[in-house]
Amino acid sequence: MSCEQLKLDNQICFPIYALSRLITSEYKPLLEKLELTYPQYLVMLLLWETDGLLVSEIGKKLFLNTNTITPLLKRMESNGLLTRERNKEDERKVIVKLTKKGHELELEASKIPEKLFSKFDKSEIKKESLIEFRSTLNLLINHLNKNK
């Protein structure tokens, strides 16, 4: 006996999961040129926007736990992209700042979004539709995150 609501094709989560994996795989060759993984790229996006974030702020914005974000930041620090310093007022807090090398990567990385959008140029999917879809996804994220 099969329940209709349990069919994979009827799930909201699966297309989002599959899309996430497919989009991440599209980023991979672009990020390899920068010697970044996708999670590292997300950290860099945050720091290019606002340098000097706390580890906890990065984790919150990326929906990552401390035990996930700390090893990621350690690898990035050993690659010379950022520094981690204890906050002088509160030693429990760690501030993450870009190095010169981290800042220099921004210019090259700035070409990535347009390269990804260009993959849809010959499809029926328009840039405006992707932007609207992103807005809908952000609404879903905000709604689900509201009670956390």
Q: What is the CATH number of the domain that holds 94?
A: 1.10.10.10
Domain count, the chain: 1
3-state secondary structure 44-95: HHHHHHCCCEEHHHHHHHHCCCHHHHHHHHHHHHHCCCEEEEECCCCCCCEE
Q: Is residue 43 part of a domain?
A: yes
Sign of the Cα torsion 142, 98, 31, 93 reads negative
Number of helical H runs and strand E runs in the chain: 7, 3
pLDDT digits (tens, 9 = 90+) for 79-96: 999 999 998 889 899 999
Instruction: Please answer whether residues 64 and 55 qualify as being in contact, where contact means their C-beta atoms are separated by less than 8 angstroms.
Output: no
Residue range 47-65: mean pLDDT, rounded: 96
What are the phi and psi torsion angles at 23 (to 5°)?
A: -65, -40
Rg for the chain (alpha carbons), in Å?
Answer: 18
pTM tops 0.75, yes or no: yes
Q: Is residue 99 part of a domain?
A: yes
Give the structural domain span for 79. 24-112
Q: Is residue 69 part of a domain?
A: yes
pLDDT band at 121, cuts 50/70/90? Answer: confident
Residue range 24-50: mean pLDDT, rounded: 97
Q: Is residue 136 part of a domain?
A: no
Helix/strand/coil for 99: coil
